Structure 1
Amino acid sequence: MQQQQLERMKDGKGFIAALDQSGGSTPKALAAYGILENAYSNEDEMFKLVHEMRTRIITSPAFDSSKILGAILFEETMYRKIEGMYTGDYLAEVKGIVPFLKVDKGLAQEADGVQLMKPITNLEETLKQANEHHIFGTKMRSVIKEANTVGIRDVVDQQFDVAKKIISAGLIPIIEPEVDINSLEKGKCEERLKVELQNHLNSLSENELVMLKLTIPTQANMYKELIDHPKVVRVVALSGGYSRDEANEKLKANDGLIASFSRALSQDLNVNQTDEEFNAALSKAVDSIYAASI
């Protein structure tokens, strides 16, 4: 299964759905879906509601392996079930979609123009659980806001330090050093980030493979060398706050870059839609993101 999933991620046509809104971003995701904060009174109720939203997305006929290669899950989702199966198993066995797990614990305070990841205190146990729940890979996010060489180097160093532990556990890490789309130095940030990524990729051993999740670059095809690098399974793009139409247009200009969208995927979905309306809205989103990714 792991080898089949690796080949699918490397060569398959389609995109990765990001369904990994965490505790901090879940209220926003629910509000966008039409469920306001007065609809739940504690974290358990909130996570139950967001799992119902994710279940509706994943079980929709529009959420199909012919266009969706993988899906990134929040840790809480990994422990929950869809139609009697753990979410990762349902994705892999019923849908034919490769499951990933968000493992970071959020962002630290900004320093040197970047936000590093907070310490991942329980990484070893999380990776053990990921393997037990048949997860293929992981994802972790940092943010770059300024073209600060020290800060960008720190971000990439931290990402690869954790990535090597993930690789040792038999999983494929998605490294996500997001460049803020509102940065006044976005293009310069991307140039410096690319250099740091190349340095680390070149130092990986033969069996160490990673994926990259990057902001769609200001200069089209900026990341072509990363996409073609032998240690990189796939380079995927985050929508980063762009609308779906804008993200799709920018993505189309980059050969070999595929989507890993979250808000841009779910922006037209609403809890009050009938199943027919919901599936039609999701189908339209999936079709447009797929077209931009190929």
Structure 2
Amino acid sequence: MTIFEQQLRRMKQDKGFIAALDQSGGSTPKALTGYGIQENAYKNEDEMYGLIHAMRSRVLTDKSFTGDKILGVILFEKTLNAKVEGMPTTEYLWKKHIVPFLKIDKGLEEKKNDVQLMKPIPNLAGIIQDAKSKGVFGTKMRSVIFANNQAGIAAVVQQQFEFARIIIENGLVPIIEPEVDIHAADKKEIEATLKAALLEQLNKLTANQNVMLKLTLPAENNFYSDLTTHPQVVRVVALSGGYDFEKATNLLANNKNVIASFSRALLDDLRVDQTTEQFSTVLSKAIDGIYNASIT
């Protein structure tokens, strides 16, 4: 069995969740501030990315961060191309039996029709081939939906699946992420429109075309249950979407066969000035809470 086949089986069958460590250029300063590193602590982008990589490495190498509870990690490009304990990041992760994913989107367009589409991704096929050569299993790409605008939602789903087909053709499994704004007044209606659009596209996939879905936790418990059982869906994962740890894990626990792909809820209480033992205790508590909600 190839490594890819082992990873696919792990993502389909095993218990655990996906850690999202993919903050990019725009969100890195906020992530560092939350960690306790202010913007005056670095002079340029290189220093900023060095600090965020040190934070991520601290998470990845912690004794509580293991494949027993963590199925996969979503990486930012610079993390993919860096090293952890002297090893390529993907190699280090798979040594722990953790499946590597790569964030590939280049950010969002301006809002139109109550959604934000992804910006173009130049040379997408080349990016996927490079990632595959480095041991990446799958990709992640994010759009955002703010209101129940059928034209906007259709455009989001169409774009996501157009990119997904290119990713599949080049040998990786795409995570499709059409995030629904948790503050939307018509969130429940958005989710109904979104699910219908997702099912329409999923039903057009062939038997050997597999995707994953990363969705905002729904207003109605188990609303996405028919997506979790769709033959072309490897896994449905949930984003925390701005919910705090308690809210995100409580909602997740009420949605059967959906697992977490959290960032904020995982990292919120970590601080640069914590001792190794303090850091590990805080991280372990977050991992346990998210894992338990994922397997409930």
Which one-letter code corresponds to 2:21 in the other structure? L
Q: Residue type of the partner of 1:268? A: D
| Residue matched to 1:187 | 188
Percent sequence identity is 58
Secondary structure, in 3 states, of the residue corresponding to 1:178?
strand
Q: 1:16 aligns with which of 15, 18, 32?
A: 18
- Where do residues 50-61 of structure 1 align in structure 2 (5 Å cutoff)? 50-61=52-63
Aligned counterparts of 1:221 and 1:96: Cα–Cα separation in 2: 29
Secondary structure of the structure 2 residue equivalent to 1:233: strand
Matched, 1:139 2:140: yes
Does residue 25 of structure 1 match 2:20? no
Which structure 2 residues correspond to residues 253-272 of structure 1 after superposition, within 5 A? 253-272=254-273
Q: 1:5-154, aligned counterparts within 5 Å?
A: 5-93=7-95, 95-154=96-155
1:9 Cα offset (Å): 0.3
The alpha carbon displacement at 1:163 in A equals 0.2
Question: Partner residue of 1:197?
Answer: 198
| 1:127-276 correspondence runs (5 A) | 127-276=128-277
User: In 1, distance between residues paired with 2:123 and 2:241?
Assistant: 27
Find the aligned partners of 1:79 and 1:293 in 2 and give their Cα distance.
29
Cα separation, 1, equivalents of 2:164 and 2:91: 23
Q: What SS does structure 1 have at the residue aligned with 2:203?
A: helix
Q: What is the CA distance between 1:125 and its match in structure 2?
A: 2.3
Q: Aligned to 1:110, what secondary structure does the other structure show?
A: coil
C-alpha distance in structure 2 between counterparts of 1:142 and 1:203, whole Å: 21
Q: How many residues align?
A: 293
**Following the alignment from structure 1 to structure 2, what is the Cα–Cα distance between the partners of residues 107 and 77?**
21
In 1, Cα distance between equivalents of 2:246 and 2:70? 18
TM-aligned CA deviation for residue 233 of structure 1: 0.1
Q: CA RMSD in A?
A: 0.5
The separation in 1 between residues aligned to 2:127 and 2:21, in whole angstroms, is 18
CA offsets per residue over residues 103-160 of structure 1, 9 Å max, x none? 0000100000100000011312211220121000000000000100000000000000
Whole-Å separation in 1 of the counterparts to 2:24 and 2:264:
13
Equivalent-residue separation in structure 1 for 2:115 and 2:90 (angstroms) = 32
TM-score (norm 1): 0.99
Q: Name the CA distance, whole Å, in 1 between partners of 2:34 and 2:155.
A: 34
Secondary structure at the counterpart of residue 112 of structure 1? coil
In 2, Cα distance between equivalents of 1:223 and 1:251: 12
What secondary structure, in the 3-state scheme, does the structure 2 residue paired with 1:203 have? coil
Instruction: Give the drift of 1:243.
Output: 0.3
Q: How many angstroms apart in 2 are the aligned matches of 1:178 and 1:192?
A: 13
The Cα of 1:221 is off from its aligned counterpart by: 0.5
Aligned to 2:287: 286
Counterpart CA distance in 2 for 1:124 and 1:46 is 29
* Aligned-residue offset at 1:89: 1.0
Normalising by structure 2, report the TM-score: 0.98
**3-state DSSP of counterpart to 2:287:** helix
- Report runs of 4+ in structure 1 exceeding 3 Å deviation: none
Structure-1 separation of matches of 2:290 and 2:123? 34
Matched AA of 1:46: M
Gaps of 5+ in 2: none
**Inter-partner Cα distance in structure 2 for 1:10 and 1:82:** 27
Deviation at 1:84, TM superposition (A): 1.3
Q: For structure 1, which runs of at least 5 residues remain unmatched after alignment?
A: none
Query: Partners in 2 of 1:150 and 1:267 — Cα distance?
Result: 35
Q: Structure 2: how far apart are the matches of 1:263 and 1:114? A: 22
